Structure 1
Amino acid sequence: MPANALRSVGWAPTIAMSWLWGLGFFYAIHVTLTYGWLGFVGFAAPNVLGLFLFGWVLGAPGRDPAQILKTIQGSYAGLFLLCQLAAVAITIFGFLAYAWRPMLGAEAALVAGVVILASCAVGHAVGLKALRGLHAAYLVLGAGAALAALGALRGTAEAPVPVAAFDARFYGLVLPSLVGFLLGPWTDLQQWQRAVEIRASGASVRTAYGVGAVLFLGLLVLNAALAAAAGPAAAVVTADGLPGAQPAVAVAAGAVPAASVAFLIWTLIAATSTLDSAYASIRWFMSSLTARSSSPLLAFVSPSLVSSPLWLVLAAIAVAAAMIGANLSMMYLMLPFATLLAGGAACLVGEVLGAERRYDGTLCAMLGLAAALIFLAGYLGPAPLLATAAPLVALIGAAPTLAGLRAKPAGEAPRPVAAVPAPAEPAPALVTLANENHASSYGFDGQWFVFHMTPTYDDTNSVGNIYFANYVRWVGKARELFFNVCMPDFSLASTDFYVLTRDFNHQFRREAKEFEPIVVRIRIAAHSRKFVTLAHEIHSETHGLLGRGEQSLMFVDTVHYRPLDIPRSIVKGFLPYFAGSVAASPAAALMIGEGAAAS
């Protein structure tokens, strides 16, 4: 086998294990025992196909998963994190409710806690390349344990699994299953991280996901075989009055010591390979997101704290605990993938395929919530038409994006996302002079800091015009007054940072003369984590705009002159002067002037 193909196949075990999580693991058992072998095929086929198509599309020539993710991650960050929250919650809930509690009783919570902590520690300590090796070993050990459990359970089932046992509820689940499983991998950070790393290593994303999908199918079939060997030993009735067969294998294995040990090992491996992978992918994604963020909140909170996956893991634990306490079934954690998340996921796929960005997160969320309510009414009814209609309602939110898909001429490289147009420069605000006979005054006029002054003969050159360097000097004076108003307690004797001018430019439009009232206006136009851009304008009361430009400021420590993030005292000092003058949301006004110009 060629080296490139061997590298590609080497990624297949971690792809299969990371996509198994609680949903695939336990729902394969449920559908086999509830709807028969054809019911299992109806669940497994779209699940495997969705995983394969994700790799096939992202692995197309000319597509770079890393560049695509870099472009879309800011807009779809909430969608990605909600998906990971649901995936981790389903995993914790499924293994605790359907395996460890039936098998271990009171000790189940302790086992769950140890597995979660150990898995998160592994995901924190090692990178994806090391996880790839671990998951290959997990796959061998886990599949061996599952086969051992299957051998020990043979002959214990009271009745064979039928070929088909369809009912109205099954028919209502066909379209939601198709939509949820085909779109699911696109919102899963674990799969995005793998696609990025596979491409970076020089391997084939398509080959890796093709083999990974086959391995994943094998794991689903293995669990379906375990279900058939165990039989419907212990169907549970949840708070909605509906039976579920997910714990059947655990209950049957509990009566056979050899099967019990083997199945317990298989569940521990399956849970660990999901949780460590989820932790690593969330950390990878959030670290990238915070590194590119220009939010000044990161001056108050450590970026490593913000990017920590522990917050999401704790939220998932809370969701799983609430679900177990309310005696709800796994279906209530599965339905978001076909309803709440479906519109956003379809928009994301549309952008990857070349559509322009028309994603409206609020619209997709509202339609998704409506779809979730419709699905619940159809599922509980049962009313198959309602359950079938639910994902179609959710996908309405993606219609503007999907309508933008167009046929590409031959040879045209795929366009992952449309470029976001730069916002138009705001029109200059009218200058309101404080008085007509001023010599020098300053203060805020809306979002601008305004400095009024009158030039004299001292400011002119030998031919009577204002000397060009004085315009720069006036901007500097306005900047220092601006700083002094916002931070009156700043002292060079005690400060632990300096403000340095990184660059300065000015475009001259007209010249001024002596005793011609001048207005210098300055505001914060943009910022990153380390730099602030100040825009300025110089106006004449009689001749209008004289010139405009901008300057970039940076911050360094006072000892080694090392560049710093924007100091929190700067944020505290300047924020109050802009929060009241920008008619925008608090998030838009986080950094001074952010409502006035795009950062």
Structure 2
Amino acid sequence: MPARPVRSLAWSPTIALSWLWGLGFFYAIHVTLTNGWLGFIAFAIPNAVGLGLFGWILGSPRIDPAKVLSSVEGPYAGLFLACQFFAVAITIFGFAAYAWMPLFGTNAALGIFVVILVACSIGHAISIRGLKKLHIAYLVLGLVASLTALYGLWNASDAPPTPLAAFDERFYGLAIPTLVGFLLGPWMDIQQWQRAVEIRRSGGSVRVAYASGAALFFGLLVVNALLAGAAGPAGTVTAADGVPGAQPAVALAIARNHLDGPGLAFVIWTVIAAVSTIDSFYCATRWMMTSITTRSTSPLMAFVPAGLVASPVWIVLAALVTAAAMIRLNLSLIYLMVPFATLLVGAAACLVCETLGAPRRYDPVLCAMIGLTACLIFLAGHVAPVPAFLAVAPLIGLIGALPMILALFGWQKEETREIAPVAEASVPKVAVVTVTREEVGTSHGFDGQWFVLRMIPTYDDTNSVGNVYFANYVRWVGKAREMFFNICMPKFDLKTTDFYVLTKSFTHDFRREAVEFEPITVKIKIANHNRKFVTLAHEIHSDLHGLLGRGEQSLMFVDTVHYRPLDIPRSIVEGFLPYWPKTSPHAVGTAETAAIARA
């Protein structure tokens, strides 16, 4: 068999296990016992097809998953993180409420914490390629355990046959949410994006990997459906909202029949399902957040360590608290599943459209507000029940993506907006704050974001020909820079500082010459920045002849002991934050704002 198909098929176990979650694992049991075998098929097929379609689209030769993700991971980071939060919360809640607690009681919290910690440790220590190999072993052990549990439960249980179909109002209302949620679900999941990127990098076929992964995932759902059929509907419980659920039926049947062997096998199967989701979440989330923080130009990164921002631990803690609260309130799994069909679908649809080439018109706030409205409508229809509310909720959630959907199909032309001229009188004037020094004929201060140094050259600044010596222009820019620094960081002291500011590069484009006693203005401002470097732009003007020249310089920061490059120091960020470029998302105000803050 060719090497490429083998490499591709090797990814199918981790694809299937990472998509199993509590959502697929326990809901397969519930829907089988509640709606029969046809109900299970109606749930499982869209779930597997959505996973396969994700891989089919990203596996296109015209699409590079790594390039697409690089362009969308920043704008859609909120979507990816929200999806991971709900995925982990579903996994922890389902594992605790529908397996662990029915088998070991309410005092078994220690075991739950151990499983979570072990899974997070694995995700922290092992790369995605290592997880691929580990999940192959998980799959083998999981299949042996699940089939052992099925055999033991089938022989010991006297459950009535599962009906072919038992459709009710909620089932019909859930048809559209099931279709929308499962078709868009993989696009929200950074775990699947990471796998698609790594499959392409390793030389495998994304389409083959996800086709086989989707088929394997469907098979795992069938195993759980068979477990549900062997357990029977006697394990149905009623949540606080009055809606019955059969998710814990297998665990309750094992406990009721005192099946030690099948019980241990089922515990192993549920632990594998939980661990393979949480370790995958941890690995993928840290991978994405590390990429975002590495490329971030936010000055806030000078205050918070990048490793802390990129850590998935915060999501695990939030998911754990959410799961514990839901168990305490006796809520059901549906409340954690709803966002995938309502709250997140607008953003997910925008992401799909952008991947397929639509121009970005994603408004995260609008999508979130519309999605929250859809979520509330869904919950009202679920409790009542009102099938129409359930059916219309995901369609409402998709309204936020309507501009991009229309653009994708060419039904909406690009809007051209004419910018009305702004009257000069309507533009607020920013006063120049100057401190005049009569003895040297200079003054300096801020004019908006520009730091301005005014001066008058003398014979001391000229050369033998009579015009200003070229090196003096560089010296004036340096003088303006030092005075700029002195105003922004008046307490800076070379004797106590733990960093130095070094000039990495300097360029200047000469335009005209100046002569003695010709009033000169040197202007300097922050033009650009990233995590480690700040670029300053400068201009030199003559009151008589206009622009004399312009250029820029790049600054870097090193420690005072080993001269190792540093991120922009915190004191620099605090001092210069008011003067970032206006186009920067981190600009906080003008010089007047800074003066008020210092006062």
**TM-score scaled by length of structure 1:** 0.90
One-letter identity of the residue aligned with 1:305: L
One-letter identity of the residue aligned with 2:394: P
Residue 394 (structure 1) aligns with: 397
Residue 442 (structure 1) aligns with: 444
Q: Say which is worse superposed, 389-398 or 444-453, in terms of deviation.
A: 444-453
Report the Cα offset of residue 433 of structure 1: 7.7
Residue 348 (structure 1) aligns with: 351
One-letter identity of the residue aligned with 2:588: A
One-letter identity of the residue aligned with 2:52: F
The secondary structure found in structure 1 opposite 2:374 is: helix
- Where do residues 30-429 of structure 1 align in structure 2 (5 Å cutoff)? 30-154=30-154, 156-254=157-255, 255=257, 256-405=259-408
Residue 559 (structure 2) aligns with: 557
One-letter identity of the residue aligned with 1:88: V
1:287-339 superposed Cα distances (whole Å, 9 cap, x missing partner): 11111112222223221122111111111101111111111111110111111
Q: Is the 8 A contact 1:96 1:112 kept in 2?
A: yes
Q: Say which is worse superposed, 262-271 or 157-166, in terms of deviation.
A: 157-166
Q: 1:108 to 1:557 in 2, by over 3 A?
A: same
Residue 424 (structure 2) aligns with: none
Report the Cα offset of residue 94 of structure 1: 0.5
Q: Is the 8 A contact 1:295 1:590 kept in 2?
A: no
Residue 588 (structure 2) aligns with: 589
Residue 488 (structure 2) aligns with: 486
1:364-407 superposed Cα distances (whole Å, 9 cap, x missing partner): 11111111111112222222222111111111111122222258
1:416-440 superposed Cα distances (whole Å, 9 cap, x missing partner): xxxxxxxxxxx99978484999611
1:249-283 superposed Cα distances (whole Å, 9 cap, x missing partner): 11001123332122111111111111111111111
Report the Cα offset of residue 542 of structure 1: 4.1
The secondary structure found in structure 1 opposite 2:105 is: helix
One-letter identity of the residue aligned with 2:159: E
Residue 518 (structure 1) aligns with: 520
Q: Is the 8 A contact 1:538 1:548 kept in 2?
A: yes
Q: Say which is worse superposed, 492-501 or 134-143, in terms of deviation.
A: 492-501
Whole-Å separation in 2 of the counterparts to 1:519 and 1:264: 77
Whole-Å separation in 2 of the counterparts to 1:114 and 1:583: 47
Whole-Å separation in 2 of the counterparts to 1:252 and 1:211: 32
**TM-score scaled by length of structure 2:** 0.90
Q: Say which is worse superposed, 43-52 or 102-111, in terms of deviation.
A: 102-111
Q: Is the 8 A contact 1:524 1:592 kept in 2?
A: no
Q: 1:590 to 1:118 in 2, by over 3 A?
A: farther
One-letter identity of the residue aligned with 2:9: V
The secondary structure found in structure 1 opposite 2:150 is: helix
Q: 1:591 to 1:199 in 2, by over 3 A?
A: farther
The secondary structure found in structure 1 opposite 2:566 is: coil
Residue 16 (structure 1) aligns with: 16
Whole-Å separation in 2 of the counterparts to 1:437 and 1:484: 16
Q: Is the 8 A contact 2:435 2:444 kept in 1?
A: no
Q: Say which is worse superposed, 256-265 or 431-440, in terms of deviation.
A: 431-440
Residue 506 (structure 1) aligns with: 508
Q: Say which is worse superposed, 451-460 or 542-551, in terms of deviation.
A: 542-551
How many residues are matched? 572
Q: Is the 8 A contact 1:157 1:228 kept in 2?
A: no
One-letter identity of the residue aligned with 1:370: T
Report the Cα offset of residue 543 of structure 1: 4.0
The secondary structure found in structure 2 opposite 1:452 is: strand
Whole-Å separation in 1 of the counterparts to 2:462 and 2:20: 77
Whole-Å separation in 2 of the counterparts to 1:591 and 1:246: 58
Whole-Å separation in 2 of the counterparts to 1:58 and 1:143: 29
* Runs (5+) with no aligned partner, structure 1: 408-426
Q: Is the 8 A contact 1:293 1:528 kept in 2?
A: yes
Q: 1:521 to 1:431 in 2, by over 3 A?
A: farther
Q: Is the 8 A contact 1:296 1:591 kept in 2?
A: no
Q: 1:436 to 1:315 in 2, by over 3 A?
A: closer
Q: 1:27 to 1:157 in 2, by over 3 A?
A: farther
One-letter identity of the residue aligned with 2:447: D
Whole-Å separation in 2 of the counterparts to 1:498 and 1:297: 20
Report the Cα offset of residue 471 of structure 1: 2.3
The secondary structure found in structure 2 opposite 1:233 is: helix
Report the Cα offset of residue 219 of structure 1: 0.3
Whole-Å separation in 1 of the counterparts to 2:564 and 2:523: 30
The secondary structure found in structure 2 opposite 1:301 is: coil
One-letter identity of the residue aligned with 1:397: G
Report the Cα offset of residue 285 of structure 1: 1.2
Whole-Å separation in 2 of the counterparts to 1:402 and 1:104: 49
Q: 1:583 to 1:549 in 2, by over 3 A?
A: closer
Report the Cα offset of residue 539 of structure 1: 2.9
The secondary structure found in structure 2 opposite 1:324 is: helix
The secondary structure found in structure 1 opposite 2:539 is: strand
One-letter identity of the residue aligned with 2:87: A
Q: Say which is worse superposed, 554-563 or 39-48, in terms of deviation.
A: 554-563
Report the Cα offset of residue 508 of structure 1: 3.7
Alpha-carbon RMSD across the aligned residues, in angstroms, is 2.5
Is 1:535 paired with 2:537? yes
1:60-83 superposed Cα distances (whole Å, 9 cap, x missing partner): 113221121111111111110110
Q: Say which is worse superposed, 151-160 or 276-285, in terms of deviation.
A: 151-160
Residue 418 (structure 1) aligns with: none
Whole-Å separation in 2 of the counterparts to 1:299 and 1:434: 31
The secondary structure found in structure 1 opposite 2:501 is: strand
Report the Cα offset of residue 568 of structure 1: 1.9
The secondary structure found in structure 1 opposite 2:506 is: strand
